[in-house]
Amino acid sequence: MSTTQLFNGLASDYQAYRPRYAAAALAELEAFAAPLPEGTVLDVGAGTGILLRQLCETFGAGLRYVGIEPGRDMIAKARQATAAHLPVAFVEAPAESVPLESGSAALLATAQALHWFDRPRFYAEAARLLAPGGTCAVLYNQRDTADAFNAAYEDFTAPFNARSEDEATGSEKRGGLGIVLLRDGTFRPEIAARFGAALEFHHPWRRRMTDEEVVGQARSTVQMRNVVRALGETEAMQRLRDLIARHTKGAGEFEVPYVTSLIAAKRRV
């Protein structure tokens, strides 16, 4: 299966259980991007539209917002989840070939998606799309692995997923690779090389989740689908539930520490 359709079958859980991005990161992006040139706000690899709707909240309804998403299930869920009155549209297209005019984007963002792209082609496309002074922004939500549960969850899923680009021999093996590359410091120098000096901002926060929400979020990921493929649905989910139970000791809900990371740079005027 190509990377563009890997989330088919996962979109409902993705929309229901994936977190929003920390307000502090969006505020940092708003300050960095100011003043916005004229143009459209793009979310490339928009998924179910979680970030794009937040961008609309942050920058206001006076702009045009477009989500670029190639996945059939994801774009259908994005359209369903987005209120009709918002100035938001979704276009089915890959990140490396966006059917919009050159210089038409005031802000081009991508969240939880950069590792899925052909990055050299994507950076070239972002440079084409951005207006002079426009901002390219990359966001990721990641679990804080200083937390015992988060560390145990990563230990559980890691054997079934690539831990480097060299290991990512099949498209499905790229699940979770974005966090690896983010932590390794891969993205910032790539973006800076294309656009110039890059902002890097990391904001820790905590998310209260029920046991079932943790399960639902896990099921929205390609990483967990790889675990299920290897172990079978019954064993994989039982191991996950056992891991949660050991951490919560029957409490039924707990706080999961997260970090929202932002890397941003402006196209030179």
Quick one: residue 134, left, alpha or beta (phi over 0 = left, psi -120 to 50 = alpha)?
A: beta
Q: What is the 3-state secondary structure (H, E, C) of the chain?
A: CCHHHCCCCCHHHHHHHCCCCCHHHHHHHHHHHCCCCCCEEEEECCCCCHHHHHHHHHHCCCCCEEEECCCHHHHHHHHHHCCCCCCEEEECCCCCCCCCCCCCEEEEEEECCHHHCCHHHHHHHHHHHEEEEEEEEEEEEEECCCCHHHHHHHHHHHHHCCCCHHHCCCHHHHCCHHHHHHHHCCHHHHHHHHHCCCEEEEEEEEEEEEHHHHHHHHHCCHHHHHHHHHHCHHHHHHHHHHHHHHHHCCCCEEEEEEEEEEEEEECCC
Mean of pLDDT over the chain: 95
The residue-averaged pLDDT of 74-97 equals 98
The residue-averaged pLDDT of 20-46 equals 98
The residue-averaged pLDDT of 152-173 equals 87
- Band the pLDDT of 1: cuts 50, 70, 90: low
> Cα separation of 249 and 245, whole Å?
5
Q: What is the pLDDT of residues 172-185, one digit of tens each?
A: 778 889 999 999 99
Q: Which amino acid is at 84?
A: A
Domains of the chain, with CATH numbers? 3-266 (3.40.50.150)
Q: Is the CB of residue 261 less than 8 Å from the CB of residue 201? A: yes
Beta carbons within 10 angstroms of residue 69's beta carbon: 29
Q: Which amino acid is at 107?
A: L
Quote the pLDDT of residue 187. 98
Q: What is the pTM of this model?
A: 0.96
